[in-house]
Amino acid sequence: MYFSLVVSVLIFTVLIALVKEKHKGTVALGGILVNVALSSIPAISVLQGNSYAETVWGGNVFGDISISIDGLSAWFILLSNFTMTTGILYGRQYLKKYTGQPANLSLHYISYVLNQAALTGVFFFQHGLAFLCTWELLALSAFILVIFENGRMETLKAGINYLIQSHISIIFLTLGFIWVYTSTGSFDFEAIREYNAGGKPEAGLLLFLTFFIGFAIKAGFVPFHTWLPHAHPAAPSHVSGIMSGVIIKVGIYGILRMLMLINGNYLVLGYIILILSLVSGIYGVMLAIIQHNIKKLLAYHSIENIGIIGIWIGIGAIGTGLGHPFMAYAGYTGALLHTLNHSLFKSLLFYSTGNVYQATHSVHIEHMGGLIKRMPRTAFLFLLAALAICGFPPFNGFISEFIIFSGLYGAISSHHVPAAVIILAIGGLALIGGLALLCFTKAFGIIFLGTERHQQAGLAREVPQAMLYPGYLVSLLIILIGLFPGPFVSLLQDTAGALSGSLPASHTGLTDVMQHISFSVWGLILLIAVLFTVRQAVTSRRTARLQPTWGCGYTAATPSMQYTASSFVRSYSKLIRSLVITNKARDEIKEIIPVPLSAETHYYDKLEKGLIDWPARNLKGFLGRFKFLQNGSVQFYVLYGVVFIAIGIAIPLIISAMQYLMQMLKQL
């Protein structure tokens, strides 16, 4: 199967480069579908209780390189395959606006196919070197996807920022694998378990933290998140969808994989993950609320949801450490299910945002308004995804959140679980949920309700049906998980058991309760629909009279009388002013006769300024002191080469002379 996947990637890479521009998207879609089929078949078989392992390269100096699929790998393979498929379905329609760029489109589609193959490789390989190679391919292909619009300086900066931080992630992962190799002589994943089995608990904790930092950078945990709010807005919308829906999830996969392999102090590991995840979740949603760029808003929500997933992982690890099976099971099951759920509703949000961008040519929330009348289907998809991400029943976000809250409330009766853990987790999740509701109320209200604030919004039209079909497909799965959570939770039973080390006596009651709640809410929705239909039938025969209403002294409402995105959250923005850098730009009154004035407020992440901007500025200043070396003189450049060669010759001679002197001194 592995070699079939490699051959498929090579064939479709060549085909994409050779076919005409209008067929490149179709060929890329064919390549993705073939690769998805090749990887999904063994993954589905594993989730049905079978096993799968294959040696792809044996007898080398670093040991056999094999691929192995367990429940954890299979789950991530399937969810990534679904989102990558909807991404290419949407992307080939989205990129039709970019005609006349055959070379750029070829590189983009080839990178998309390679990215999907690299994702599969990350989930397949159980060997450190092979894992790092596919991780590098994943980073490089994602970088090329991000910089599709490479004519813009902001896009290039965002892509380079992502590439640099991705390689910092690779450095930490490489250190972790080298650490294990120096102790065990093997790069196989099982060597991590063997190393930790006979080692000290402190060594296991440090090894886990080394891997955790590498995976946390890719996932976007605070304070390793600074690449994410720039890469998502710079990338095309379908790339933003797969980055948020899938690519950052490989960091979650890596953390869960290390928890399965490293037999450390799960209680300490759980506390570390829980605290960092709480900070990530709260900080991400707090900064999302004040964003004016819709894609940047969604990017910060990715940080928030990574924090939510991390909270559940932390609860699962704490439950394992305390010997509380249901708490551990609920934590890991909620984390795995929410990984899928976030992949669905976040990709749908980005696809909907892409529709808005192509209709209005803007991602600035303040330039929109009233789009629900011009783009009703896109508005429906955005609203459904917004309700799901806020955790409302009967959608999928509610299911995963209900699982973790059930686990936390179930732990209250246990005397072994500290009350501080339960209070922190429940309070943090409740705060995140409330802030997310405020954020998406602002986003949907300002973008789709009211009247247009800008000429482009007034000219917007609904996108073609082909751009809506991927959103319908994602919406269908969002609703199915909300209606019938049982089958999806059952698929995770063995994986959650492998992570927690045990399973609770029964979990069927939990899924039954969730399903009853979903059915009840859908019943309420249907009842409202029936009443609305009856009302329409009764009132349709009546004659409607149109009369002007009192305008409160105004002859007509104007767009400027509406809430803006800033005024909607003005009270909130005052509360978090100390956490952000506020930049205001406003026109000054210079004439006696009034003229139109404008004012804009932009917020900047203080953590990014401290972690990225300040070190980069100082490094640039330090390197600037050596500009005199690059003086444009050919003679100096030749001299540099001669000096370098002389140093290269001198160093071995000096070392040999020192060794000779040491031998002479020993003889004396």
Q: In whole angstroms, give the CA distance from residue 244 to residue 219.
A: 9
Q: Are strands 580-586 and 599-605 parallel, antiparallel or unpaired?
A: antiparallel
Dihedral, 425, 430, 431, 436 alpha carbons, nearest 10: 120
Contact 230, 162 (CB under 8 A): yes
Contact 558, 453 (CB under 8 A): no
Which tokens belong to 470? 């991927």
Q: In whole angstroms, give the CA distance from residue 305 to residue 385.
A: 14
Q: Which helix (H) or strand (E) holds 445?
A: helix 419-448
Largest distance between two CA atoms of the chain:
119
Q: How is the chain split into domains, by residue range?
A: 274-533, 628-667
Exposure string (b/e) for 82-118, b if CB count within 10 Å is 16 or more?
A: bbbbbbbbbbbbbbeeeeeeeebbbbbbbbbbbbbbb
Contact 146, 208 (CB under 8 A): no
Instruction: Convert the pLDDT of each residue in 152-176 to its tens digit.
Output: 888 898 999 999 999 999 999 999 9
The per-residue pLDDT for 213 is 94
Contact 412, 422 (CB under 8 A): yes
Which tokens belong to 600? 């804009």
> Percentages helix, strand, coil for the chain, rounded to the nearest 5?
75, 5, 20
Q: In whole angstroms, give the CA distance from residue 528 to residue 663.
A: 94
- Quick one: three-class SS letters along 216-258? HHHHCCCCCCCCHHHHHHHCCHHHHHHHHHHHCHHHHHHHHHH
Q: Which helix (H) or strand (E) holds 541?
A: none
Query: Which residue ranges in the chain fall short of pLDDT 70?
Result: 1-2, 58-63, 196-201, 414-415, 502-509, 549, 551-557, 585-597, 610-614, 628, 668
Write down the pTM of the prediction: 0.88
Burial class (CB in 10 A: 0-12, 13-18, 19+), 537: exposed
Q: In whole angstroms, give the CA distance from residue 338 to residue 352.
A: 21
Q: In whole angstroms, give the CA distance from residue 112 to residue 422.
A: 42
Q: 586: helix, coil or strand?
A: strand
**Cα-trace Rg, the chain:** 28
Contact 337, 406 (CB under 8 A): no
Which tokens belong to 149? 């619009």
Q: Which of 587, 501, 443 is nearest to 266 (CA)?
A: 501
Q: What is the DSSP annotation of 593-636?
A: S-----EEEEEEEHHHIIIIIHHHHHHHHHHHTTGGG--S-HHH
List residues bridging with 583 in a β-sheet: 602
The per-residue pLDDT for 424 is 85
Instruction: Convert the pLDDT of each residue in 540-584 to its tens digit.
Output: 777 777 777 676 666 666 777 788 878 888 888 888 887 777 777
Sequence-ordered list of residues with C-beta below 8 angstroms from that of 366, at least 6 positions apart, any chain: 292, 446, 453, 454, 564, 565, 566
| Residue 251 burial (CB count, 10 A) | 23
Contact 381, 351 (CB under 8 A): yes
